Amino acid sequence: MRQDLNIDRNWTLFLDRDGVINHKIEGNYVKCWNEFDFIEGSLKAISNLSKIFNKIIVITNQRGIGKGLFSLEDLTLIHDKMLLEVKNNFGKIDKIYFCPDVSDSSEFRKPNIGMGINAKSDFPEINFKKSIMVGDSTSDMMFGYSLGMNCFLISDSLNKSYETFSSLYEFSEFLINKLKKN
């Protein structure tokens, strides 16, 4: 991890959802709560990270809505239940931003920065230079880098282009240990 990250309570954490908080359904979408499956350790990680970061924001592409595979109401129910589980496990997520658009050219679809701009509008205290993006895809990394964030990849395989962790829990433990040393 970069030595210059002096993280304090003024920092903001941006998280992707699918592949970071919950398991992705390869070639498909999480369309209802019964298909939503927390990745082992992700609830504990969010609890740990809630003690470190001022704000935790989820940024997620949800193209399945635009394709008509599930509705806005379905997504709202998934997110309401996810937020309740996070709260019941002593974590917090301040807000969830999602893009239902199918087109990659949508200003709100990652890697484009529209959802980040909306977050900054809702929370003017966000400083992207004092923000971290954790995601599982190149588009997540491009989104974060475009806004000047520090970015970390969640992946099972080593990726020399990005600082990589196997899970959100591993990232949270690494960060906690790093902060203890400072």
Please tell me which residue in 8, 18, 80, 101 is annotated as part of the active site: 18
In single-letter form, the type of residue at position 141 comes to M
Q: For the whole model, what pTM was predicted? A: 0.96
Strand ordering across the sheet containing 95-99 = 95-99, 55-61, 12-15, 131-135, 150-154, 163-165
* Domain annotation for the chain: domains and CATH numbers: 20-181 (3.40.50.1000)
Q: Is there a catalytic annotation at residue 101?
A: no
Please give the pLDDT value at position 2: 54
Give the Cα separation of 182 and 151 in Å (integer).
20
Please tell me which residue in 4, 8, 16, 104 is annotated as part of the active site: 16
**What is residue 55's three-state secondary structure?**
strand
Please give the pLDDT value at position 138: 95
Give mean pLDDT in consecutive 10-residue pieces for the chain, a chain of 182 residues: 76 99 96 98 99 98 98 99 99 99 97 99 98 97 98 86 93 92 76
DSSP classification of residue 149: -
Q: Is there a contact between 97 and 115 (Cβ–Cβ < 8 Å)?
A: yes
Measured CA distances, 99 to 3, 141, 150, 159 (Å): 33, 17, 22, 27
Please give the pLDDT value at position 32: 98
Triad 95, 29, 105: Cα angle to 5°: 70
Q: Is there a catalytic annotation at residue 74?
A: no
Residues in the chain, overall count: 182
Please give the pLDDT value at position 157: 80
Tokens of 92: 């917090």
